[in-house]
Amino acid sequence: MVIDTYKKARAGRGESVSPAELLAAIQTDVMFRVPAVRVVEAQCKNGQAAYHYLFTWKSPALDGILGACHALEIGFVFGHCDQQFCGSGTEKLSRRVQNAWLALARNGNPGCKGLEKWPTYGKNRKTMLLGRECRVEEAPYEEERRIWDTIGDVQPVA
């Protein structure tokens, strides 16, 4: 059920459905994305403004195999993007990410220069995609997210 859902959703977006890519996508969601979404949803249920993002910048390291891997955004946050790990042309996105983090700390809202329209997550699951192009998308990777609702709690393996 999970593998079929991921395969169908990824194929529909023109993404690889190789066994290695499916495993990486499922592991990423179990360890990072689904728990983060659950935290954002809990914030919303408690009447708190909640903002969500997906960092979609793909690392060229190891011939691109890392993709938009965990912790890649850290260099962008601190304005120190190692070209071999982060790639080139990172300055614009790095400034946007820094401005968003500062705006969130100052105002409780990450909307800022270059990312003015950053709505709360809410019932439409509005998510900022931070990558070569930045844009808000409603419910990205929704098919994959929904399958975890049928399974129950997602707990990363220690």
What pLDDT does 151 receive? 85
Per-residue b/e over 15-44, b at no fewer than 16 CB within 10 Å? Answer: eeeeeebbebbbebbbeebbbebeebeebb
The 10s digit of each residue's pLDDT in 68-102 is: 999 999 999 999 999 999 999 999 999 999 999 99
| Segment 130-145, tens digit of pLDDT | 999 999 999 999 999 9
